[in-house]
Amino acid sequence: MKAVRIAMAGAILIGAPAQSQGPVDGKLGFRDTPILPGGKWHVHDPDRPAPAVVSPAATPGGAPSDAIVLFDGKSMDAWHGERGPWTLGKGVMTVPSRASSGGENNLISKQEFGDVQLHLEFRSPNPPTKSSQDRGNSGIWFMQRYEVQILDGYRNPTYADGTVGSVYAWKPPLVNPSRPPGEWQSYDIIFERPRFAADGKLVRPAYVTALLNGVLVQNHQAMLGTTAWRKIAQYQAHADKAPIQLQDHDSPVSFRNIWVRPLPEEAIAQDLKGAAQ
């Protein structure tokens, strides 16, 4: 009986109503609450703007209503190749052979981006014919500088900071959730561009959060600078926006369902303001 009385008492406490959440000038919220950091809004402020409504896709991985679709399986108009187009067929675009393109042929978005959410699906060639870095190698280069690696990582030993899910030449993925070659895999990545002062000095590094096949592989990871092979990356000041690049690494990796959402800079601006104080 004692246990029952305690549980009932707890229920009474939990269920006890707080201050009534009635309308304030016809809006729901409170103006008699503390001011939040930043000095603009009360807790539960009725005047704080509501978030924009975005319709999610009908199927997982599909583009939401506010996304910019870079590849829908029908057209490659959002891209240009350094040496010509990639191959397009059956709703998929694929890195062409070096012989047909005349050399390295990275694919570059015509539109430029800064902070961005990206969704992309890729497929490594099957059966695999090579190993390590020569097996299903490509990469996503944000602002044509900062690489998140694409590789056939299924039972394919290689150096840790070069496997799929890595920030290439810097941070191995937290885990390796690779699917076998020939199966479609998905990336969902949040990229935050670096910030530079007027004199070119780095104020805030680039950050990346990445999920591979729905599994977290990079958790708000700071990047060292422009990706380099066998060198430590370094920053050089650049514009606030630049293209996204898909790498041709002499492997016929295929892609589908690519979309992005440019992200508002308000939160990062507040972060920078706080760091300066």
The arithmetic mean of pLDDT across residues 8-35, rounded, is: 65
Residue with token string 């807790």: 43
Pull the structure tokens for residue 192: 């935050």
- Between residues 51 and 101, which one has the greater pLDDT? 51
Rg from Cα positions in the chain:
24
Give the confidence band of 133 by pLDDT, cuts at 50, 70, 90: very high
Alpha helices in the chain (DSSP H): 2-15, 98-101, 266-276
Chain segment 166-195, per-residue pLDDT in tens = 999 999 999 999 999 999 999 999 999 999
Q: In angstroms, rounded to a whole number, what is the distance separating the alpha carbons of residues 246 and 95?
A: 9
Q: Is the pLDDT of residue 9 over 80?
A: no
Q: What are the DSSP E strand ranges found in the chain?
A: 23-24, 27-28, 68-71, 79-81, 87-89, 92-94, 107-113, 116-123, 138-142, 146-150, 185-192, 195-196, 202-204, 207-212, 215-222, 242-246, 254-262
Q: In angstroms, rounded to a whole number, what is the distance separating the alpha carbons of residues 156 and 57?
A: 34
Q: Is the pLDDT of residue 4 over 50?
A: no
Residues 6+ apart with CB under 8 A from 187: 118, 119, 120, 121, 122, 140, 148, 150, 210, 211, 212
Q: In angstroms, rounded to a whole number, what is the distance separating the alpha carbons of residues 40 and 126?
A: 56
CB 137 within 8 A of CB 122: no
- Between residues 116 and 84, which one has the greater pLDDT? 116
Q: Which pLDDT belongs to residue 7?
A: 43
- pTM for the model stands at 0.86
Q: Which amino acid, 28?
A: L
Q: Which pLDDT belongs to residue 19?
A: 53
Chain segment 47-57, per-residue pLDDT in tens = 999 889 999 99
Q: Is the pLDDT of residue 273 over 70?
A: no
Question: Percent of the chain, pLDDT > 90?
Answer: 78
Residues 6+ apart with CB under 8 A from 145: 225, 226, 227, 238, 242
Q: Which pLDDT belongs to residue 275?
A: 54
Q: Is the pLDDT of residue 22 over 70?
A: no
How many helices and strands in the chain, by DSSP H and E? 3, 17
The arithmetic mean of pLDDT across residues 74-100, rounded, is: 92
Class of domain 71-276: mainly beta
Q: Which pLDDT belongs to residue 86?
A: 94
Question: Percent of the chain, pLDDT > 70?
Answer: 88
Q: In angstroms, rounded to a whole number, what is the distance separating the alpha carbons of residues 96 and 250?
A: 8
Span of 7-11, 33-37, 229-233 with lowest mean pLDDT: 7-11
Give the confidence band of 259 by pLDDT, cuts at 50, 70, 90: very high
First to last CA, the chain: 56
Q: Is the pLDDT of residue 12 over 80?
A: no
Q: Which residues does residue 222 pair with via DSSP β-bridges, in sequence order?
A: 207
